[in-house]
Amino acid sequence: MATSAADIEKNYRSFVKNIVETDKVWGLTYDDTWATSSSAEFEDTEVILFWSEEKGAAACAEDDWAGYQPEAISVVEFLENWCVGMYSDALLVGANWDADLNGKEIEPLEVALDVVQELKAQGKTLEFTQYDSQKEFEEQVIEALEGEE
């Protein structure tokens, strides 16, 4: 069954809200390799998949990813290392994809900004290791996004 654009957007919003609530982002790993997929939207673009819950990741550990296991990282690690690094490498985030590999493909810095907005909405502040503050991280993400326009 095809997933509607509204369902994909709802799953993405759920991803952002849940990772802020739990301080965990899930991926599928095999040794040091993270599950990736080719983009359905952009030719020659890779998508690294992340979930807000272990069971979502586990549901996709089949076929090409049969030997992969769910692994959690902190939201700070996701923002600082993954989102920033993926932006530099021109990779996309696949957020809360379902077992049929339907889900949102989004620029990593857009995800980072959405997560920071949700942190503020929930009254949370994270301790960053590579930035002086959450505010500085947010300002640098906004500056990078504005530089693309």
Residue whose C-alpha is closest to residue 110's, from 56, 60, 52, 149: 149
Where are the domains positioned within the chain? 5-148
- Length of the chain, in residues: 149
| Distance (Å, whole) CA 16 – CA 115 | 6
User: How far, in Å, CA of 56 to CA of 99, rounded?
Assistant: 8
Helix, strand or coil for residue 124? coil
pLDDT tens, position by position, 64-89:
899 999 999 999 999 999 999 999 99
Stated pTM of the model: 0.93
Per-residue confidence in pLDDT tens, the chain, 149 aa: 457 888 899 999 999 999 999 999 999 999 989 999 999 888 899 999 999 999 999 999 988 899 999 999 999 999 999 999 999 999 999 999 988 888 999 999 999 999 999 999 999 999 999 999 999 999 999 999 998 76
Residue 144 is classified by DSSP as: H
